């Protein structure tokens, strides 16, 4: 990339740039020549301290990351610590940078965390809804042409007994027709917060002519992009606990340490998945092919569907091929969800824009398991043992033991985990 291309690039606010996807996204867009402003309130690191969780891959501070990125790539990412609930901070960002686009990851994104108790449910919905409202008003009032690219989740839809369309469905009813938002049945206060956001964003496109792309993203896997591998300081998160980790990450960690893979309930729960490298590509496609003024474009952002049990069986098969027997254990499901259901979600629009998927293969699973083995000394096995949050009754005694509301040291000794290694 030439300096010339960087000069012609878009100015992009990446909100939530300290997160699992936010940080690789900031580097990816910087590499492509866009002027990237990385924004975060570092809430995710605070929630780790509160809940006794951490990234298996050590994370550097945002200051160190952007400095390393500049040293490695020759490109500068602006880093600003700001909380989207603070409307003055949001307005200042828009005034200072007048962005062409905003990529908004800056939300509490864990379903179990939102189900711990009343405080977590309220915090999740207020944090996510107010942050997004503040962004919408800043766009209206400061940079009306700005394109909002908002990360939603496939979980907004739930598991209907009909095909899931991309955002809207044509309904014929009593001899009349309309194209309406696809009915959503979200399964946690977190998922609900994303539905609230989607509804607010759709309204802002209709009332104010905002440009918006609402990405209903599937479950993202993988721990590496072309940029995170350039230096250990540039790594992104790898979560494996029951609050922040995905089932696939949990299975990889359980396989690496020789524990049974714990499937919640029957394991027929089916979802859409995608490689983190495809997330980079999808969001770049959305950015470089913006929505029209007044358009609320919805893309289902995933590449393949798997059930939880299929994922466990994939991991077990990969291990068996290396001569390592791995068992699958069905444990009581802490969630309220269907464990056997129809699931067929459309995901054509990003392919039409040019997405070329990386499908989930043995090589990636082996690479994840090898990475885990390399960091095995950092694994707190108690975090793998059983879920700490029930959908019906909230945080259980595992949650109580590991959580620390003031973010101070936990009372339970954890020999294997370097204290605060996650924050440098």
Which residue ranges make up the site for a copy of itself (CB under 8 A)?
87, 117-118, 121-122, 125-126, 129-130, 133-134, 137, 160-163, 169, 171-174, 176-178, 180-189, 192, 195-196, 199-200, 202-203, 206-208, 336, 342, 391-392
To the nearest 10 degrees (0 to 180), the angle between helices 276-288 and 22-31 is 50
Q: Distance between CA 399 and CA 380 in Å, rounded?
A: 14
Give 3-state DSSP helix, strand, coil % of the chain, rounded to 5. 40, 20, 40
Min dist CB 182 to a copy of itself, Å, is 7
Which ranges of 16-80 would DSSP assign to H, the alpha helix?
A: 22-31, 43-51, 62-73
Which ranges of 144-269 would DSSP assign to H, the alpha helix?
A: 189-208, 247-256
Min dist CB 171 to a copy of itself, Å, is 6
Q: Closer CB to a copy of itself, residue 174 or residue 411?
A: 174
Which ranges of 213-348 would DSSP assign to H, the alpha helix?
A: 247-256, 276-288, 308-321
Distances (CA, A) of 251 to 81, 200, 373: 34, 36, 13
Min dist CB 307 to a copy of itself, Å, is 18
Of the candidates 225, 227, 355, 239, which has an alpha carbon nearest to the alpha carbon of residue 302?
Answer: 355
Q: Which residue is catalytic, options 190, 202, 343, 402?
A: 190
Q: Which residue is catalytic, options 53, 132, 153, 205?
A: 153
Min dist CB 133 to a copy of itself, Å, is 6
Q: Closer CB to a copy of itself, residue 117 or residue 288?
A: 117
Q: Closer CB to a copy of itself, residue 161 or residue 363?
A: 161
- Residue 322: its H or E element: none
Q: Closer CB to a copy of itself, residue 119 or residue 325?
A: 119
Q: Closer CB to a copy of itself, residue 92 or residue 200?
A: 200
Q: For residue 1, what are the contacts with CB-CB under 8 A and spacing of at least 6?
A: 31, 32, 33
Min dist CB 19 to a copy of itself, Å, is 23
Residues 121-158 as b or e (16 or more Cβ within 10 Å = b): bebbbebbbebbbbbbbbbeebbeebbbbbbbbbbbbb
Q: Distance between CA 178 and CA 414 in Å, rounded?
A: 57
| 190 flagged as catalytic | yes
Min dist CB 175 to a copy of itself, Å, is 9
Paired residues of 81 in beta bridges: 40
Min dist CB 7 to a copy of itself, Å, is 34
Q: Which residue is catalytic, options 31, 150, 184, 194?
A: 194
Q: Closer CB to a copy of itself, residue 210 or residue 261?
A: 210
Of the candidates 77, 71, 74, 86, which has an alpha carbon nearest to the alpha carbon of residue 24?
Answer: 77
| 246 flagged as catalytic | no
- Environment class of 391 (CB within 10 Å of its CB; exposed 0-12, middle 13-18, buried 19+): middle
Q: Closer CB to a copy of itself, residue 196 or residue 378?
A: 196
Which of the residues are catalytic? 153, 190, 194
């Amino acid at each position: 990339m030439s300096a010339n291309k960087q000069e012609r690039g878009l100015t992009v606010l990446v909100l939530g740039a300290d997160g699992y996807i936010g940080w690789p996204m900031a580097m990816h867009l910087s590499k492509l020549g866009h002027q990237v402003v990385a924004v975060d309130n570092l809430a995710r690191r605070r929630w780790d301290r509160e809940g006794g969780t951490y990234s298996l891959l050590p994370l550097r501070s945002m200051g160190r990351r952007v400095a390393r990125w500049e040293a490695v790539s020759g490109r500068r990412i602006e880093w600003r610590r700001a909380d989207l609930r603070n409307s003055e901070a949001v307005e200042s960002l828009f005034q200072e940078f007048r962005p062409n686009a905003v990529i908004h990851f800056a939300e509490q994104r864990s379903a179990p965390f939102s189900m711990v108790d009343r405080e977590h449910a309220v915090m999740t919905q207020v944090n996510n809804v107010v942050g997004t409202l503040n962004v919408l008003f800043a766009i209206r009032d400061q940079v009306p042409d700005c394109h909002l690219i908002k990360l939603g989740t496939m979980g907004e839809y739930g598991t209907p007994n009909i095909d899931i369309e991309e955002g809207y469905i044509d309904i014929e009813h009593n001899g009349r027709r309309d194209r309406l938002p696809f009915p959503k049945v979200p399964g946690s206060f977190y998922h609900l917060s994303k539905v609230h956001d989607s509804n607010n964003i759709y309204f802002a496109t209709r009332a104010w002519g905002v440009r918006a792309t609402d990405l209903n993203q599937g479950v993202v896997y993988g721990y590496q992009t072309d940029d995170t591998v350039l230096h250990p300081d540039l790594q992104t998160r790898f979560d494996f606990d029951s609050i922040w980790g995905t089932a696939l990450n949990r299975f990889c960690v359980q396989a690496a340490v020789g524990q049974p893979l714990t499937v919640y309930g029957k394991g027929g729960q089916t979802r859409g998945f995608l490689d983190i490298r495809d997330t980079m590509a999808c969001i770049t496609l959305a950015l470089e092919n913006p929505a029209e003024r007044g358009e609320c474009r919805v893309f289902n952002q995933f590449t393949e569907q798997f059930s939880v049990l299929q994922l466990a069986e994939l991991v077990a098969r990969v291990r068996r091929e290396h001569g390592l027997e791995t068992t699958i254990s069905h444990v009581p499901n802490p969630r309220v969800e269907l464990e056997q259901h129809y699931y067929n979600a459309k995901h054509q629009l990003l392919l039409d824009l040019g997405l070329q998927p990386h499908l989930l293969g043995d090589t990636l699973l082996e690479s994840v398991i090898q990475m885990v083995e390399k960091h095995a000394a950092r694994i707190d096995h108690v975090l793998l043992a059983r879920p700490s949050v029930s959908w019906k009754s909230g945080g259980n005694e595992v949650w109580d033991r590991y959580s620390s509301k003031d973010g101070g040291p936990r009372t339970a000794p954890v020999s294997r985990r370097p204290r605060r290694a996650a924050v440098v």
